[in-house]
Amino acid sequence: MSLIAVNRNFRLLFSATAVSNLGDGISALAFPWLASLITRDPFLIAAVAAATRAPWLVFSLPAGVITDQVDRKRLMVSADVLRMILTLGVVGLILSAPPLPFDDNASAALPMILGLCAAAFLLGSAEVVRDNAAQTALPSIVETHDLERANGQLWSIEQIMGQFVGPPVAGVLIALAVPVPFLVDAATFGIAAFLVWQVAMMPKAIPAITTSFWARLKEGADWMRGHALILRLALMLGVLNFVTMMSATMLVLLAQEQMGLEATGYGFLLTAGAAGGVAGGLIGPKLAARFGAQACVLGALACFPIPFIILALTSNPWLAGLALFLEMSAGMTWNVVTVSLRQRVIPDALLGRVNSIYRFFGWGSIPLGALFAGALVAALEEPIGRDLALRAPYTLGAIVCVALLLYGTLRLRLPQS
């Protein structure tokens, strides 16, 4: 029987995840599309994407220490309430600005981009705290033997709402008025906070703080240094996320300029990736049970170069959609296996800190990938032309993913579940 049917607390967490990721999916399209209405400069657009993910580099480590020292449910609720307030602030920013699009009005564009970057950074900071707390709390809600199934269901609903439903809805909402998707996003955070507040988590002993922040962080770092597999997975995830963010950052320009897509069409393109994420989230636990974690991770690594090659070569939105489907399906299978492994082997008292260190390496590279993509395209645009420059991040991504496959084949040895 489904965990959603038999476990009320998981059902509440699942519902909160669904609602908040609907908002995330709406903003995932709305933020870059808003940036593209303000400016056509690839580096400035990349700066907005980088600001959203920079907190994973800046705040991942403090978030882990905080998660292990406070009530995790209260932390999640507070973060969602803060995200609601910040998103309403974005609405205020849009309403106070000149009419969009700016049509290369540089004097108006730069302050608006800076304001958007500031809002994106603060929203991302709240997301770091919330997501680390949620992932750390899951073992307190479901049994250990259900972790793959629970993670698979959570990752799947994240993809369904975040990329399958959210982006096309955002395309429709933007057509109504630019502030509308952000208003809906704010409402989803408020609903998610209410749902999480209803979760009854198993009591967690919160230790008295007798050591410094750095001493507590060092405990997590020492554990991770003693587990080479977890450290290797974190570093590999960092490289994967770097090149994936290169791809995602330039996709909005590639879709507009090379595929001829409007906001609604771009939203539907992103749903292809979501469909792959749903498939990976649902099938990943079954694949892990049948073939083992080792085969699943290496299989995902074998799939990763293919989407980059397709996006480097095609202007066909159908083929691009197929590439995104494969990329997200492989990525979700990787996530289901590796996240469940961490939740199973890391001691609960250290789970927040080790998770945060893992995410520092694995997610901290995301803003760097966004900035690198923007800088790469801007640098290559004049010597090789706009079209080839927009495709350069995908060519580089394919080469890097092939190298990761070779490394993983030689160095990864995952235990069975």
Please provide the size of the chain in residues.
417
Residue 162 included in any domain: yes
306 found inside a domain? yes
**pLDDT greater than 80 at residue 250:** yes
Q: Provide the pLDDT confidence category of residue 106 given band limits of 50, 70 and 90.
A: low
| Top-ranked range on mean pLDDT: pick from 344-348, 363-367, 411-415 | 411-415
CATH number, domain of 241, equals 1.20.1250.20
Under 8 Å between Cβ of 355 and 64: yes
pLDDT for 144-178, tens place per residue?
Answer: 777 778 877 887 787 778 767 887 788 788 888 88
Answer whether residue 41 is part of any domain: yes
- Give the pLDDT band of residue 376 (cuts 50, 70, 90): very high
Instruction: Tell me if the pTM is above 0.85.
Output: no
In a domain, 97, yes or no: yes
Share of the chain above pLDDT 70, in %: 95
Phi, psi of 90 (to 5 degrees): -65, -40
At residue 107, the pLDDT reads: 64
pLDDT at position 96 is 83
Band of pLDDT at residue 389, cut at 50, 70 and 90:
very high
Place of tokens 């609604």: 264
Residue scoring higher pLDDT (243 or 2): 243
Q: Which residue has the tokens 């033997």?
A: 145
pLDDT of residue 102: 66
**Is the predicted pLDDT of residue 302 greater than 80, yes or no?**
yes
Whether residue 296 is contained in a domain is answered as yes
Q: At what angle do helices 213-225 and 348-363 cross, to 10 degrees?
A: 80
Q: For residue 1, is pLDDT > 70?
A: no
* Mean local confidence (pLDDT), 327-333: 91
Q: Do the domain assignments include residue 208?
A: no
Which pLDDT does position 103 carry in this prediction?
Answer: 61
Instruction: Express each pLDDT in 189-243 by its tens digit.
Output: 999 999 999 988 766 655 556 677 788 888 888 999 999 999 999 999 999 999 9
Q: Which domain holds residue 325?
A: 3-200+213-411
What domain count does the chain have? 1
Q: Is residue 51 part of a domain?
A: yes
With a pLDDT cut of 90, the percent of the chain lying above it is 35
Query: Does residue 127 sit within a domain?
Result: yes
For 4-33, what is the mean pLDDT? Answer: 85
